[in-house]
Amino acid sequence: MKRYLVIGAAKSGLASAAYLLDRADTEVILNDSDVTKKEAVEGYFTDKKPQFIWGLPDVAEIKPDLVVLSPGVPPRIKPVQAALAAGIPVISEPELAYENSSARWFGITGTNGKTTTTALAAHLLEGFGAPVFCGGNIGTPLISAVPNLPAEAVVVAELSSFQLELINRFHANAAVFLNLTPDHLDRHGSMAAYGAAKARIFENQGPQDVLIANYDDERVRQMAEKAPGKVWYFSCQTVPPLGMWQEEGRLMVRLSEDEPAHALIDRADIALPGRHNTENIMAAVLGALYFGASEAHICAQLRTFKSVAHRLEAVRTVDGVLYVNDSKGTNPDATEKALNAYERPIVAIMGGRNKGNSFLPLVPLIDEKCRHVVLVGEARGDFIEAFQEKDFHRYSLADDFEQAVDQARLAAQEGDVVLLSPACASWDMFPSYEVRGDLFKKLVNDIDG
């Protein structure tokens, strides 16, 4: 009998435990340090139930054959280090899914744009032939569906650095590396460690696989040069060796040195604003081409794709002011992309929990783009410090989220954009960026107008 220890009882951990319970001759132990979740977690299981351990587990006493670590739990905790020291494998949920899958894999990572690119890639592949499953960091745990997929299926998986740092044999037939900017430094400790975790998405590729990489991101381009398979690039600035680029308003493609470049589609035909979304589009298209979707099918799907919730999501126009929900903008780079997506004056709502980033580099763009900024949450002091250093004074402070939206409404003028793009995590006030974005949408929809 094999004994499995699953650490972390959120979505990923619950799905992993449920899958392992269905295997023959297994003993599953589910652990979480948050005792307040006890009733909900134990109620999740009906027929087969794991053994529950609350608080830090004693790995020496449990003696597991394998540890599955949820992405929200840092590997530095004592039980994980004890397992590694004892030679016990510690893997992530995507690794567990991969090891029990016969499907083909399309993995997508990067600091920003992962969810939009993942959703778009799945949309482009839908209806072309092979079954498609979309999951991972985007929402649905991979282990909940992947083991039942046929070999011809394509798994489109959004993969975070937290999920990738504990892979072993995971192998993406096509892998996207969108960009790399400072984020999650509170967990990884350095940009080098953060980048190394992201780069694991292509480390097990072979000659028939492809890495789809951002040619305009110097860090990504340098990492891509070490890829073991072929590399297709995308660029908004230049013509890359092979891949896609933007030229005179059209998206161009060339995948072989033996073929001429040709236009795929006019950029204006795709309803996703911003240069960053041009990058996301090209990455998703290249992946769809790799898996055999026709250009005609891809273009038809591109024209019908709608933006993903909480990512430059247009909520409503009130009194000539467009309200946009970009709650997924949880770091300065994401907020920079959001600010650059609009040519109209912006009233921005920023703040939350800082993930170890400096806001100083963002201030010149804020000064250029924003009529006013409303600050809310724990990171207000960090923003104020950066604003004062750059002599920026067009901001106000809100005590809560409702007040922040009201201040933004009052500051906005006809023709402006009120943009929620916090540049911070939500955890100081909300359990997730989705809850934050949903409240923003509710408050906006409650505005009289």
CB half-sphere exposure, 238, CA atoms < 13 A: 8
Q: Are 102 and 151 in contact (CB under 8 A)?
A: yes
**Cα→Cα distances 414→219, 298, 346, 410, Å:** 40, 37, 11, 11
Q: Report DSSP state, residue 308.
A: P
Residue reference for tokens 């993903």 = 308
Rounded to an integer, what distance in angstroms lies between the CA atom of residue 127 and that of residue 134? 14
CA angle 100, 167, 287 (to 5 degrees): 80
Residue reference for tokens 């297994």 = 26
Sign of CA dihedral 132, 4, 46, 71: negative
Rounded to an integer, what distance in angstroms lies between the CA atom of residue 229 and that of residue 132? 23
Sign of CA dihedral 277, 278, 280, 281: positive
In this structure, the chain runs to a length of 449
C-beta neighbour count of 132 within 10 angstroms: 21
Q: Which residues are annotated as a binding site for ATP?
A: 110-116
Q: Which residues are annotated as a binding site?
A: 110-116
Q: Are 75 and 90 in contact (CB under 8 A)?
A: yes
Rounded to an integer, what distance in angstroms lies between the CA atom of residue 55 and that of residue 272? 45
Rounded to an integer, what distance in angstroms lies between the CA atom of residue 228 and that of residue 204? 8
C-beta neighbour count of 242 within 10 angstroms: 18
Q: Are 305 and 270 in contact (CB under 8 A)?
A: yes
**Cα→Cα distances 32→76, 151, 163, Å:** 15, 34, 18
